[in-house]
Chain A
Amino acid sequence: MCSSLETGMSKAWQALVLLALPACALAAQPVHYAYGTTPTAAQVKGWDVDVFPDGEGLPPGQGTVAQGEPLYEARCSACHGLFGEGVAKFPNLNNSSLDDLKATPPVKTIGNYWPYAPKIFDYIRRAMPFPMPGSLTDEETYAITAYLLNLNNLVGSDFVADAQTLAKVQMPNRNGLIVNDLKPDTHAKRCMKGCAAGSALEVKTNAKDLKGLTPPTTGPADGK
């Protein structure tokens, strides 16, 4: 880009530009645009809500299992059920073990699948209750987190959740995640002739056999 710019200019202009504004050097270095403002500490604090797996980012405050029970019943049980069993297709928050991860279909809940307890606090504070996210205080969020951990038999009924204790809870699936190396995991070959034969070319399952499963693709949305 720099060279094409220069070839389009007379020698005199090139000399001027090089003196006043070294265009190529400028393009190579980051430009400081000075747009926007520097946030205040209070502005950052208000939005800096993320919590790391080790508990960094958890706020001051605490909550007990006993405090969490009535809060859970009032604010969470309509969707998640009185015992965390999940209403309809809302998520189950209870009754699961590592073996349930090998079942078909697998049962994945905060108790058997979530690897870090501080992230339960993070998620509730971030996104719950579903119809009114952000409506719980930090203390209430700690209390509900404590109650849910107790419901999953991961802490005793005297557990007090806070920034220190949550980080120490041993979640069953703490070592259950494998971090991907971002390389493809299949290595198919490009075959062009005689690539499959016999039963490999026979239909094993046909979606047309599952009556009533596929929603309509004509007419109003939702078939209403």
Chain B
Amino acid sequence: MATQTERDTREILKAVEGAAGQLPSAERRQFLRKALTAGAGTFAGAAFAGLSIAHAADVPASAGSKYPPGLPPWSRTLGPGVDWQPYGMPVKYQADVIRRQVAWLTQSPQASVNFSPLQHLNGTITPNGLFFCRYHSGCAQINPAEHRLLIHGMVERPLLLTMDDLMRYPAVSRTHFVECAANGAMEWKRAQLDSLQYTHGMLSCAEWTGVMLSTLLDQVGVKKGAKWLLIEGADGAKMARSIPLWKGLDDCILAYSQNGEALRAEQGYPVRAVIPGFEGNMNIKWVRRIKVSDRPWYTREETSEYTELRPDGKALAFDFYEDAKSVITFPCPEVPPQHGKGLYEIRGLAWSGRGKIKAVDVSFDGGANWRPAQLQGPVLTKSLTRFTVPWQWDGGPALLASRALDETGYVQPTIDELRAVRGDRGVYHNNSIQVWQVTAEGKVHNVQLA
């Protein structure tokens, strides 16, 4: 069906053609040019799609169908101009692809977390608008001109930097994942959430650009005997974590850019810490202060939170690494196999906080037998790696699982193996093998075999 605008356009075009028909050819061309330019200008202001190229009489009957041999409307109209979306947004058909929260987990959305929609993401880079968020005092929104970074403590030359100062230092761009230590926390006791987004979505990956923390520590001159750093945010929580100095001198970044653009407020604009491979909470956002000391601070997030209670009542503190982990992202509960029995490509993600992924194995039978998956390069350290493996589904029940191995030789454990060490009352660092149950009806569910 033609829209009102299209009908108006056709009438104007007809009138213009009629008038032009009365004129000699040279004058006709000039008249047409003027009339159409004026008409287009008028219509562009009201509706960009107005100037239909197709003439009513010329449209073949088959144009009514969007499918071959027809011509769909978008092939018969002028689309919007380059000034349509000065900052581009996803198309409306992707409206389901958003970060989501588990409302019953926390009391307040200002001290909560949301989850990346991994079931719809096909690369190793998380789009900035879909990067998972964890706040402790809501999202600080900071004018960069009013932001300051203080570096002090056991240093020769304390330093106060503006963002302009910070951005003068030599810059690096590196790709690293950030995973919340509590990713998978709800699955310690049993299979709970029937969703890839909610079981694994506290995981995202970006290319970060910023200053190596080691560059700044060189500038201030760390004093002999120093062993720890406090990195502190400017948010209401003044979120703070103790970072071993060796890590700060190794690969940490004070990042002001994410995937090529300035950080989003949600990710700590104007500057955040990226502590590659360590639990997400240590990647302090809105960084305002770095203090150097000879001992750790035992902040709330190092005692009350981010410690792991063992069966005997003792708790493990300073458990920094996000150990090797993987998950099949297709099929998954949200995106099951939709074509009955036949050939599918199983796809997934693997990552390790200790280095590069060396291999990923996939099982179709719950872990009795495994076969190596294809890794998609480049395989970067402490970054997401995609894997694929073809799967000939016979249409019967199946138990799909993936198992990551990293370059240190570490092999991703089953939930059984984790519980044997840590019990089942844990919150953090659940890096167990995820099993997806595929039913004969083509549904996919989160299950545990132990």
Interface residues of chain A, those whose CB is within 8 Å of chain B, are: 30-33, 35-39, 43-44, 47-53, 79, 88-90, 98-99, 101-102, 104-106, 108, 110, 113-116, 119, 122-123, 126-127, 130, 133-134, 176-180, 182, 184-197, 200-208, 210, 213-219, 221-222
Known A190-B411, A222-B100: A182·B321 in contact at CB below 8 Å: yes
Known A101-B309, A184-B323, A184-B410: A214·B198 in contact at CB below 8 Å: yes
With the chains together, A210 CA to B411 CA distance in Å? 30
With the chains together, A57 CA to B45 CA distance in Å? 64
Known A130-B111, A186-B418: A204·B194 in contact at CB below 8 Å: no
- Chain B, 354-392, contact with A by CB distance < 8 Å: what is the 0/1 string? 000001010001111111000000000000000000000
User: Are the C-beta atoms of A201 and B367 separated by less than 8 Å?
Assistant: yes
Interface residues of chain B, those whose CB is within 8 Å of chain A, are: 96, 98-103, 106-108, 110-111, 117, 119, 136-137, 150, 152, 157-162, 165-166, 168-169, 190-195, 197-198, 218-219, 230, 232, 236-238, 240, 288-289, 291, 293, 295, 297-300, 303-304, 307, 309-321, 323, 333-334, 359, 361, 365-371, 399, 403, 405, 410-414, 417-418, 421-422, 425, 437, 443, 445-450
Known A35-B161, A44-B152: A205·B399 in contact at CB below 8 Å: no
In the complex, chain B residues whose CB is within 8 Å of the CB of A203: 399, 437, 447-449
A100 (CB) vs chain B CBs: closest residue: B313
Q: Which of A90, A195, A216 has most B Cβ within 10 Å?
A: A195
Additional 14 contacts, C-beta under 8 A, given A36-B160, A115-B303, A134-B236: A50-B299, A79-B107, A105-B425, A178-B317, A180-B316, A180-B317, A185-B422, A188-B412, A188-B417, A200-B450, A201-B366, A208-B446, A214-B198, A217-B198
With the chains together, A218 CA to B100 CA distance in Å? 10
User: Are the C-beta atoms of A210 and B192 separated by less than 8 Å?
Assistant: yes
CB distance from B435 to the nearest CB of A (A): 8
User: Are the C-beta atoms of A207 and B106 separated by less than 8 Å?
Assistant: no
CB distance from B193 to the nearest CB of A (A): 5
Interface majority SS (helix, strand, loop, mixed), chain A: loop
The residue that A177 contacts in the complex, of B101, B152, B314, B447, with Cβ under 8 A, is B314
Known A36-B159, A217-B100: A116·B298 in contact at CB below 8 Å: yes
User: Are the C-beta atoms of A126 and B309 separated by less than 8 Å?
Assistant: no
CB distance from B320 to the nearest CB of A (A): 6
With the chains together, A123 CA to B359 CA distance in Å? 43
In the complex, chain A residues whose CB is within 8 Å of the CB of B443: 208
In the complex, chain A residues whose CB is within 8 Å of the CB of B293: 52
CB distance from A27 to the nearest CB of B (A): 11
User: Are the C-beta atoms of A50 and B160 separated by less than 8 Å?
Assistant: no
B152 (CB) vs chain A CBs: closest residue: A44
Known A44-B152, A49-B238: A206·B447 in contact at CB below 8 Å: yes
In the complex, chain A residues whose CB is within 8 Å of the CB of B413: 186, 188
User: Are the C-beta atoms of A53 and B103 separated by less than 8 Å?
Assistant: no
Can you list 12 A-B contacts (CB < 8 A)? Answer: A47-B150, A52-B295, A52-B297, A99-B313, A102-B313, A110-B304, A114-B303, A133-B236, A177-B303, A190-B411, A200-B450, A204-B448
User: Are the C-beta atoms of A193 and B369 separated by less than 8 Å?
Assistant: yes
Known A177-B314, A180-B319, A189-B411: A217·B96 in contact at CB below 8 Å: yes
The residue that A30 contacts in the complex, of B100, B218, B238, with Cβ under 8 A, is B218
CB distance from B73 to the nearest CB of A (A): 26
In the complex, chain A residues whose CB is within 8 Å of the CB of B304: 108, 110, 113-114
